[in-house]
A and B are shown apart, each in its own frame.
Chain A
Amino acid sequence: MDTWRPPVQGICLPRSASGPARTGLSPSLTAQARGGGDQRAAAPAQAPPPRARDVTVPRHARVDVPVAFRKEAQRLTMANAAEQWVLVEMVQALYEAPAYHLILEGILILWIIRLLFSKTYKLQERSDLTLKEKEELIEEWQPEPLVPPVSKDHPALNYNIVSGPPSHNIVVNGKECINFASFNFLGLLDNPRVKAAALASLKKYGVGTCGPRGFYGTFDVHLDLEDRLAKFMKTEEAIIYSYGFATIASAIPAYSKRGDIVFVDRAACFAIQKGLQASRSDIKIFKHNDMADLERLLKEQEIEDQKNPRKARVTRRFIVVEGIYMNTGTICPLPELVKLKYKYKARIFLEESLSFGVLGEHGRGVTEHYGINIDDIDLISANMENALASVGGFCCGRSFVIDHQRLSGQGYCFSASLPPLLAAAAIEALNIMEENPGIFAVLKEKCRKIHKALQGISGLRVMGESFSPAFHLHLEESTGSREKDVKLLQEIVNQCMNRSIALTQARYLDKEEKCLPPPSIRVVVTVEQTEDELERAAATIKEVAQAVLL
């Protein structure tokens, strides 16, 4: 039955406009739509609204109310009478109808009932594919190509080719440059002592280990290196991996399992992201270096835990941070993190690939930098591919924590062990670090210098701590498209390269990164760079940037 309603309510607005809050339309737009509806409803019948389809006008909205009521009542009584009349007629017709007619109709009804019942059966049969149909389906199926085509001018397709060692003086694409791109912070890559140690090891053990640690792949050098690393870091135990990337990526899933909760910084590097993905734990991302945001998340979790204390008793909580962030060059506020750790009982995993061998008086990393007891950090991981200029990575901490990886660290158990010559090189690099603790102060000073010199370039913004040996140059103003930004920065890199300063953009997998950092040029400082070279590099970058960006 139609009931009279004020026109506005009776109008069904177009679907898209019906729920301003839900559909996210701006209020003004919705108001407009409504207003339009009002007008249309008020328009005379002879001129139907232009979009009548979208608007249902109550049928009697335009008729006077009393008249409408009267007509309605009339219609109702008439309908009732008609219904009764039809029934009587039907019964009469039944009496009058010939027998054959009734039989026929009876059969028809039975037929219909039969059809009703057999129908479902037939449908089911039809859903099973015949062999032929299956074959056709298989024939028809066309897979996507294994890999999509890569355009010839993809920025990452053609690598720079480095001829000779990637040390302080580097030959990139045939051009001799000063290296401001390799993470060779302490200049140990072509250190003669390191080379000699590696060579001695090569002459004793050959190159490969031909087995995982468990199956005759443990060499005395590995045990030595683990001992030395543990002593250097002043922890109980260390464990080495044969690949830097695999270190933290294996360590996280060794502890954090499904159902556990990991709080991770937004700017965490890709290896951490992959480790988290492999762990299948719940991931909570906090804003970069924002302790308030982290505390908010921890508090939220605490409230959640109070609701379900039984679950909370078995839910492990981890905070995963980097010492110096690869993607930003900033340092983590470790003292605050340690406070939060004890307050909310979450364990801290610290990735120190950029800060190990860099920060602190003896190069022990962020803990030494802040003067924090290393036992307050549950697990520290770092690779040996930056400051130590070897290959591989290590984790260190208390035996209670670290030893577990010897059976559960996938990259440790299932991979061939580190070639002994690389382990020997790392040991020698540690020796050098221990013998020259002054080297870290020198590095810090150099970082400060170039950091200062690079300030105030119009168009480029320096991102990262002044003591970080790897920091980023971002575009002050993005052009709006990542592609164009990358091209601009590449142009700067290329021109610097032409002027004998080897730089590189920080490379990311755009689609894989959880929080893709903006494009940037990464500048790396090493102790081998002289003051003069640092100045030259800063001046070159400045000039080139101005030429390209202005």
Chain B
Amino acid sequence: MRPGPGGCCCRRPVRANGCVANGEVRNGYVRSSAAVAAAAAAAGQIHHVTQNGGLYKRPFNEAFEETPMLVAVLTYVGYGVLTLFGYLRDFLRHWRIEKCHHATEREEQKDFVSLYQDFENFYTRNLYMRIRDNWNRPICSVPGAKVDIMERQSHDYNWSFKYTGNIIKGVINMGSYNYLGFARNTGSCQEAAAKVLEEYGVGVCSTRQEIGNLDKHEELEKLVARFLGVEAAMTYGMGFATNSMNIPALVGKGCLILSDELNHASLVLGARLSGATIRIFKHNNMQSLEKLLKDAIVYGQPRTRRPWKKILILVEGIYSMEGSIVRLPEVIALKKKYKAYLYLDEAHSIGALGPTGRGVVEYFGLDPEDVDVMMGTFTKSFGASGGYIGGKKELIDYLRTHSHSAVYATSLSPPVVEQIITSMKCIMGQDGTSLGKECVQQLAENTRYFRRRLKEMGFIIYGNEDSPVVPLMLYMPAKIGAFGREMLKRNIGVVVVGFPATPIIESRARFCLSAAHTKEILDTALKEIDEVGDLLQLKYSRHRLVPLLDRPFDETTYEESED
């Protein structure tokens, strides 16, 4: 239900029930642009043809299968029952019939206005608490393809956990954002980071503008600019803060922000802090975006009717809960037509998309110059932490002088910088090996394979076929906990998310693929997912893919997918 501690990585305003973008019929099983004809032949389910099909140089297949009616009804019933029991138990707690586990206010401060509204935590208390063991599982190893998880037990229905001291070894990690497999404790990256750590120490103890601008930072920024193919770049100590502390430097009062409805919390926070007017367009829906752009320019600011100073479009490369890829060619065409500016958050797509890992811009074969602000993080593909912004020299100069981060926040830790430098050079092939390139290819292959197999099994899988973020729909609240626990029993660590990170009925499990996953690991995971899928009856899809004949397939899978 509740994603991890409150959050997965995505803010979810309520949106039309599973609505598919682009204004086509809601039940668009396959959305395709360039490969319309091919996809049509394959699925026979096409409900729209994108007008800008010519913009795409590659097939753009995204699936958001409609929630089956029965499942939707049952899900609502499930929440209804949970809510009823929640009220009942709150009643019992109130009269001290049931023991109260949660922490309470100090005696001295009982007459203060209560810190939390009573109903505020209803959800946490009565729904999240039941399945809290699925989140915050502590690990004690590298977050690589396999992790060691610390075993924990709860004797008070998840209100508190006790560590048994046992370690669950070799759990297959389908949860970490380790796309390119750079989360490692051996190899060139670790060695380089260790060297810098010994030389520099870990901290910086100052801000970039004061005296925390190390030669390493300058080196990193030049490299990032080269990697992205932009004039200049600037790096920051935290990915979240890169968004929330730089958007306010770019836009302000009298400016308009057009933001995708599924944008990450950091983008939303940044937009809010900027003081600009914010309008939301439907997820990845270009008609919706164009209408907002057109209206904004024609009608200007509300009430005063003055023209907007500037319009900034905020989109993400890969949406972390949906697995969808931004329709960048169309966004860029619109942005050019209406003279808006584009802010692209590549937190999940940098390194993970494109033939050489340069992100969604390269994936679509576009020019990085067309994106005004290229933002991304080092947390995921580079196995480090922090974020960057790339763009024209004027932009970066301005940010160097006006970014909140540069003035008030401590700069990146030197060993972390070194990890980024080494991993980035590896992706670029500057370390003299083709390791980086192989990783990028491996990830793309893993993605296609894993997604295809899941679809064949009959699960409802959201998102783009090239997106390494793979959401598998669970829908019902009880299945969230059940799936997470069953998978851990089978030694597979998965991420499950529900409301409020997703719309209330669209709870899901999310797999993040990695180049570090071998074929064996993926096959083991797939086998277990298949088993659990049958156990929990998760195979909701009515558009089952037929396995390709030229590909060897697992017989059991095939048989089961026939039912």
**Which residues of A approach B to under 8 Å, CB–CB?**
129, 134, 137-138, 141-150, 154, 156-157, 159-167, 170, 172, 179, 181-184, 188-191, 194-195, 198-199, 202-220, 222-223, 236, 242-246, 255, 269-271, 274, 277-278, 312-317, 342, 345-347, 375, 383, 385-386, 388-391, 398-401, 403-404, 406-416, 418-419, 421-422, 425, 502, 504-509, 512, 522
Contacts and interface: CB of A to CB of B under 8 A. Distances in A.
A398 B106 contact: yes
A394 to B, nearest CB: 14
Contacts of A141: 297, 307, 339
Given A143-B341, A207-B189, A207-B419, A422 B413 contact: yes
B559 to A, nearest CB: 33
B103 A317 contact: no
Contacts of B173: 216
A398 B137 CA distance: 23
Contacts of B194: 199, 202-203
B240 A246 contact: yes
B380 interface: yes
A400 B177 CA distance: 32
A215 B298 contact: no
A217 B147 CA distance: 11
Interface in B172-220: 173, 175-178, 182-185, 189-190, 193-194, 197-215, 218
B343 to A, nearest CB: 9
Contacts of B116: 404
Which of A142, A147, A150, A317 neighbours the largest number of chain B CB atoms within 10 Å of its CB?
A: A147
A390 B202 contact: yes
A166 B214 contact: yes
Interface of B: 2-9, 103-106, 108-109, 111-117, 124, 128, 135-144, 147, 150, 173, 175-178, 182-185, 189-190, 193-194, 197-215, 218, 237-241, 245, 248, 250, 264-266, 269, 272-273, 294, 297-298, 307-312, 338-341, 372-373, 377-380, 382-385, 394-395, 397-402, 404-410, 413-416, 419, 493, 495
A195 B138 contact: no
Contacts of B414: 165
A407 B500 CA distance: 11
A242 B210 contact: no
Given A162-B212, A202-B185, A208-B379, A422 B202 contact: yes
A215 B214 contact: no
A422 B410 CA distance: 13
List the 4 shortest-distance A-B pairs measured between CB atoms, nearest first.
A214-B4, A413-B7, A407-B6, A147-B398
B182 to A, nearest CB: 8
A220 to B, nearest CB: 4
Given A195-B201, A207-B415, A416 B402 contact: no
Contact of A157 (B104, B395, B400): B400
Nearest to A154: B401
A509 B208 CA distance: 13
20 contacts: A146-B372, A147-B394, A147-B399, A163-B215, A164-B199, A166-B214, A170-B211, A181-B211, A182-B211, A195-B197, A207-B189, A207-B190, A207-B383, A220-B140, A243-B238, A271-B408, A312-B113, A391-B237, A414-B266, A504-B210
B383 A206 contact: yes
A223 B373 CA distance: 37
B297 A214 contact: no
B365 to A, nearest CB: 24
Contact of A166 (B104, B124, B212): B212
A383 B206 CA distance: 12
Contacts of B395: 146-147
Contacts of B104: 400
Contacts of B380: 210, 416
B311 A416 contact: no
B409 A243 contact: yes
Contact of B5 (A148, A213, A345): A213
B143 A316 contact: no
Nearest to B185: A206
Contacts of A347: 109, 112, 115
Contacts of A184: 203, 205
A416 B379 contact: yes
B176 A223 contact: no
Nearest to A373: B108
B218 A161 contact: yes
Contact of B273 (A150, A162, A274, A406): A274
Given A146-B372, A195-B202, A216-B175, A204 B141 contact: yes
Nearest to A246: B241
A202 B397 CA distance: 34
Which of B211, B309, B405 neighbours the largest number of chain A CB atoms within 10 Å of its CB?
A: B211
A390 B203 CA distance: 4
Nearest to B338: A138
Given A143-B340, A166-B211, A194-B202, 19 more contacts: A138-B298, A143-B310, A144-B309, A146-B310, A165-B199, A207-B383, A207-B385, A211-B143, A219-B138, A222-B138, A245-B245, A245-B409, A345-B111, A407-B5, A410-B266, A411-B240, A418-B385, A419-B416, A425-B202
Nearest to A191: B201
A165 B143 CA distance: 29
A245 B309 CA distance: 30
A212 B348 CA distance: 13
Nearest to A152: B397
Contacts of B189: 206-207
Nearest to A260: B113
Contacts of A195: 197-198, 201-202
B545 to A, nearest CB: 28
Nearest to A241: B238
A277 B237 contact: no
B113 A167 contact: no
A211 B149 CA distance: 15
A472 B311 CA distance: 40
A242 B413 CA distance: 11
B410 A385 contact: yes
A507 B210 contact: yes
B204 A278 contact: no
Nearest to B265: A414
B484 to A, nearest CB: 11
Given A204-B185, A211-B175, A156 B209 contact: yes
Contacts of B413: 390-391, 419, 422
Contact of A198 (B103, B197, B378): B197
Contacts of B240: 243, 246, 410-411, 414-415
A212 B241 contact: no
Contacts of A385: 203-205, 410
A11 B116 CA distance: 62
Given A245-B409, A347-B112, A412 B5 contact: yes
A388 B395 CA distance: 34
Contacts of B409: 243-245
B208 to A, nearest CB: 6
Contact of B113 (A317, A413, A506): A317
Which of B143, B175, B294 neighbours the largest number of chain A CB atoms within 10 Å of its CB?
A: B143
B401 A157 contact: yes
A216 B495 contact: yes
Contact of B416 (A207, A316, A508): A207
A115 B287 CA distance: 42
Contact of B203 (A218, A243, A389): A389
Contacts of A506: 210
A212 B4 contact: yes
Which of A216, A398, A413, A421 neighbours the largest number of chain B CB atoms within 10 Å of its CB?
A: A216
Given A162-B214, A207-B416, A410-B265, A134 B294 contact: yes
Nearest to B272: A278
B378 to A, nearest CB: 7
Given A214-B3, A391-B237, A413-B5, A255 B115 contact: yes
Nearest to B181: A210
A242 B386 CA distance: 10
Contacts of A425: 202-203
